[in-house]
Each structure stands twice: as C-alpha cells, then as structure tokens.
Amino acid sequence: MVRELMEPDPRPVIAFAGGGASAALAAVALLRATTWLRLPYRIVLVDEHGRHARGAAYSTTDDAHLLNAPVKTMSALPDQPGHLAGWLRRNGHPAGPETFPTRRVYGDYLARTLDETARWAHPYASLETRTARVESARPTAEAVELRLSGGGRLDAAALVVATGNSTEGSVLGRAAPPGTVTDPWHPREGVAALAGCERVLAVGTGLTMVDSALTLTGANPRAVVHAASRTGLLPHAHRPPLATPPGLVDLASGQNGPLPLRGLVRRLRAAVDAYPGDWRHVVDSLRPHTQTLWQGLSPDEQRCFLERLSRRWENARHRMAPETATRVTLLRATGRLRTHGGGVRGVVPAGSALRATLGDGSVVEVDAVLDCTGSAPGRAPLVARLLADGLARPDHLGLGVHTCPRGALVTPSGRVSRRLFALGPPRRGQLYETTAIPEIRDQAEQLAQRIADTVLRDRRDAPTAVV
Ligand SMILES: Cc1cc2nc3c(=O)[nH]c(=O)nc-3n(C[C@H](O)[C@H](O)[C@H](O)COP(=O)(O)OP(=O)(O)OC[C@H]3O[C@@H](n4cnc5c(N)ncnc54)[C@H](O)[C@@H]3O)c2cc1C
C-alpha cells in the first residue's frame, strides 16, 4: 500500500500558482473543455494560504462584505449566465439577477462549482489542492519544475501564474510606520487583526477601504476609521435598474486608426451629457470594449491615462452594492467613517499611538494604519522571480507580465512559452480591464483552449512525476 502511494502518477499536471477565483474559473474551463477528449491529467491548485477557489476576494467570512457586481454578471460559466442565480436558489439564498449576495456565499459557489465539475470529469481528469507558496519555476525539456515553500517540489506539464493582486510594496513606502497592515485580506495579519482597534487610518478610499471600515466598525462599536486618499472620493453606489444599453458612446474610429485618448474622453463626456438616463449606464456600456480601447492607445497615452485619469475612471467604474452604500452613509453620518482628500503626508509615533498628518491639513491620532491601496500584480514575489530568471518579460508599462493573446508568457527574447501562462491581474498592462469575474472568465476559456491544444494533446504519452 505504501509503495503504491509512493509510485509517481504518470498523468501530466497542470499546476496553478495561486488558487483564487482566476485559478478556479480556469480549472473549470479546462475540465469542461477536455473531458470529451478523454485526456488523463491532473489539475493542482497551489495556494499559499489555502484559499482554494476563493482567493483574497471570496474567502472573507464577514457577511457585511457583499459582491460589488450583481448576480447576473457573476456566473462562473460563460455559456450559462443564469448558473449563479440557479445555484443560489437551490442552496437557500433567494436572489434575483440584480441582487448582491455576500462574497462568502459567492466563494462557496465557486468552490462547489469547481468540485462538481471535477467530479463530472472523473476518471480522466482530477483536481488536487495544496497549501504552499510556489517559490520558483524552472522549465526543462519535458516539464516545468516548481519549488514550493517547505521544500516541496512539483513537476508540471504547465504552470499558470494566477497570483492575483499583490499587495507587495505599500504606497506609504518608507513613511509606513512599523506594524502597518499592508494586506487587508491576509487571513491572519489583515484587517481582522485590527478588530480591537478604536482609531484606524485607512490609506485609500476605494472598495477595499469600504469593506475594511465595515469590518472594523462592526467588530468594535467605538471604532472610528479615517480614510485618506489623493482624491478623497468614495465609491459610487450601483443604482437599479442595472441596465447596460449598448452603443451609448460613439466609438467609431477616424480614418487614421484607433481613437486617440483625447477623442475618447471627449466622446465619453458628450455621451454622458446627451444621455437622459443615469451616467452609470454610459460607463457600463464601455465595459465590453475596454480592452480593445486600451490596446488602441499608444503607450504614451496609456501612461497619461494611468497618471491623470485612471483614478476618476476607476471611481466611476467600480461601484458598491446599494446596501453597502446605505451602511457607508450611516457610518459617515455618525462620524465613524471620516474621509480626507490630499493623501497622507506622514505618520510618526506619538506615545503608544501614531500621529498622522493628512493632505487636507488634519492631524489625527490612530492606533493602526491599514493600507487599502494595494494592487501591484507585477510585484507578486513569483512574478518578480520569473522576471528575474528571464522566464517572463514585463509588459510595456511594467504593471505585470507580457503575454500572448491566449495567456502564454513571452520571454525577454520574444519567445512564446509552451509551458508558462498567466491569468487575471498579472495581465493588467496589456489588457487593463482584467481583475473582475467577467473578464477573467473570458480569459479562462481562451487559456483552457490553449492548454488543451498545446500542452495536453502533446503530452498524452509523456509521463510527469510528482515528488
Ligand atoms: C475585496 C474584493 C472584492 C471584489 N469583488 C468583486 C465583485 O464583486 N465582482 C467582480 O467581478 N470582481 C470582484 N473583485 C475582483 C476579482 O474578482 C478578484 O480580483 C479576482 O477574484 C482575482 O482572483 P485571482 O485568483 O486572480 O487573485 P486573488 O484572489 O488575489 O487570488 C490569488 C491567490 O494566490 C495566492 N498566491 C499568490 N502568490 C502565490 C504563490 N507564489 N504561490 C501560491 N499562492 C500564491 C494568494 O495568496 C491568493 O490566495 C473583487 C476583488 C476584491 C479584492
């Protein structure tokens, strides 16, 4: 029996570094795309925190955290837009297409959908999970050797980098006082670790700050959160009906190629002015075109957008559930959430507390600082390691990695990798809109096809060992 367990499994392994929603959606897509081919292989999801299928966004246990997008957009299956709604109904969570369930329940949905798809794919394909960090990858002629934390090793036929939105490198840089929480979603050292604090400075005023403020004020009735960002703008609320009529912005390009950034902004403004309904519809109508529009801009225009316009765009684009907005309004009305524009000038120790000087001139004493700004997929340690090892090259803006259209990594010499792929946030420089479920779901489909075509069919007879 022991010998049997020690024997290497000959089936090729498709490994995912990072086991979050991106990995789950890609694993589902791969299982669905290949089962009829009767290819034997193993999917192994390796997640450093054991947040398999949920990742940072959907592993929260705080039911104040709702989805930021309605049910109708969040199905895991692109060909079944009503799949999530049906699952919710069958599992005792009454929900309509325009409701916003808790992220915990959505995490359950992803995990169960993945499990059920894997059961359906049995006995050809199988699904395994491991709790470890993928430290490095080394392609060989036959496989890619993965080094895992704790001294483990995994030989895979392909590796998908699904490391998500890294929080490495606080915006506060050296000004961050010791003890600053840089990853609000860390299972042990994140916002939950500050649950007893009465005064917290949150850096950032976006959706992560909102969720953190809900957790902190929910855990401690005396807690007050100061939230500071350059603009001081809170997210807008979704406003039903959540219609997205197409074609509200004139995107017809001129004779000289794609629309320049200035022309795009002008047309967006004109569409908002001319539209008799809610401005949100105009913004949402651009969503299916965002990646193409982004790729039509020159690198200089993309940089200009990132520096000057992206904060406003993100604020208009990423909105909170109406119920969340009601809670935020109450927190602000009772002084428990206070927003500040102008950013953070400095934080210094003041006895047992910290004194923060904010850009709007306020000086506040707090017990802890929580960095809610993090989204630096290119700084994820594994991505940095792949770049340093010459296995990947950065995208032209240095936000993540350079990939080919179906997700294969491109090396510094311009070679398209046959074994290394990326999915979700690490593709931000090339796609811009690549962090939400609808876009990741589309990428997952394309990636699955690519892996089926170029990795699995080739590997039918080549053994791959797990050590
Ligand atoms: C709080 C929050 C709420 C959101 N709400 C919505 C929403 O309502 N609707 C929507 O469409 N989108 C939403 N999003 C966006 C989107 O769904 C997520 O960004 C998406 O889940 C990204 O998934 P991911 O798997 O790429 O990354 P992550 O969720 O970050 O998962 C990556 C996982 O990989 C692990 N990891 C990293 N490096 C390694 C390594 N080297 N080895 C092993 N493991 C590693 C990480 O710890 C993490 O568990 C939300 C995002 C956040 C953060």
CA of 162 to the centre of ligand 1 (A): 9
Assess contact for 32 and 114: CB atoms under 8 A: no
pLDDT over threshold 70, residue 140: yes
Q: Which range marks the domain in which residue 351 is found?
A: 173-237+319-371
In terms of DSSP bridges, do strands 125-131 and 199-203 run parallel, antiparallel, or are they unpaired?
unpaired
Atom of ligand 1 nearest to the CA of 54: 29
Q: Higher confidence at residue 373 or residue 437?
A: 437
Say whether pLDDT at 467 is over 70. Answer: no
Instruction: Indicate the top mutation candidate among 99, 163, 385, 421 to test ligand 1's pocket, ranked by most ligand atoms within 8 A of CB.
Output: 163
Contact 214, 324 (CB under 8 A): yes
Is the pLDDT score of 45 beyond 80? yes
Contact 341, 356 (CB under 8 A): no
My answer on whether 310 and 177 are in the same domain is no
Would the CB of 70 count as within 6 Å of ligand 1? no
Distances (CA, A) of 67 to 58, 163, 186, 319: 9, 21, 18, 10
How many Å apart are CA 381 and CA 16, to the nearest integer? 15
Are 152 and 66 contained in the same domain? yes
Whether residue 107 is found in the same domain as residue 40: yes
Q: 467 in a domain, yes or no?
A: no
Whether the CB of 18 sits within 6 Å of ligand 1 = yes
Looking at the structure of the chain, the number of domains it has is 3
| Element containing residue 256 per DSSP (H, E) | none
Residues 9 and 32 grouped into a single domain: yes
**Contacts (Cβ under 8 Å, ≥6 apart) of 219:** 192, 195, 196
- In whole angstroms, give the CA distance from residue 291 to residue 439: 9
Q: Is the pLDDT of residue 463 over 50?
A: no
Domain assignment present for 246? no
Ligand 1, atom nearest to 51 Cα: 49
Cβ of 383 less than 6 Å from ligand 1: no
Pocket test for ligand 1, best of 68, 323, 427, 447 (most atoms within 8 A of CB): 68
* Residue 401 counted as domain residue: yes
195 and 337 inside one domain: yes
- Cβ–ligand 1 distance for 28 under 6 Å, the answer no
Q: Which atom of ligand 1 is nearest to the CA of 133?
A: 42
pLDDT, tens digit (0-9, with 9 covering 90-100), for 176-229: 777 789 899 999 999 999 988 999 999 999 999 999 999 999 999 999 999 999
Ligand 1 atom nearest 425 alpha carbon: 26
pLDDT at residue 464, as a whole number = 40
Looking at the structure, tell me whether residues 62 and 161 fall in a common domain: yes
Res. 250 pLDDT band, cuts 50 70 90: confident
Tell me whether residue 462 is in a domain. no
Confidence of residue 292 (pLDDT cuts 50, 70, 90): very high
In a domain, 63, yes or no: yes
Closest ligand 1 atom to residue 424 Cα is 26
Q: What is the pLDDT of residues 324-359, one digit of tens each?
A: 999 999 999 999 999 999 999 999 999 989 999 999
CATH number of the domain to which 333 belongs: 3.50.50.60
Rounded to an integer, what distance in angstroms lies between the CA atom of residue 195 and that of residue 351?
Answer: 21
**DSSP codes, 123-183:** TTEEEEEEES-EEEEEE-SS-EEEEEGGG-EEEESEEEE---S---S-TTGGGSPTT-B--
**Cβ(170) to ligand 1 under 6 A?**
no
| Token digits of residue 64 | 């104040």
Q: Ligand 1 within 6 A of 75 CB?
A: no
What residue has token string 């022991």? 2
Residues 17 and 157 in one domain: yes
Under 8 Å between Cβ of 403 and 427: yes
The first and second tokens of residue 174, run together, are 């050296």
Atom of ligand 1 nearest to the CA of 438: 11
State the chain's mean pLDDT as an integer: 91
Burial class of residue 219, CB neighbours in 10 A (0-12, 13-18, 19+): middle
What mean pLDDT comes out for the span 29-53?
A: 93
Atom 30, ligand 1: residue with shortest CA distance: 164
Contacting residues for 301 by C-beta, under 8 A, at least 6 apart: 260, 261
pLDDT tens digits for range 353-395: 999 999 999 999 999 999 998 777 778 999 999 999 999 999 9
Question: In Å, how far are 121, 428, 445 from 439, measured between CA atoms?
Answer: 25, 11, 10
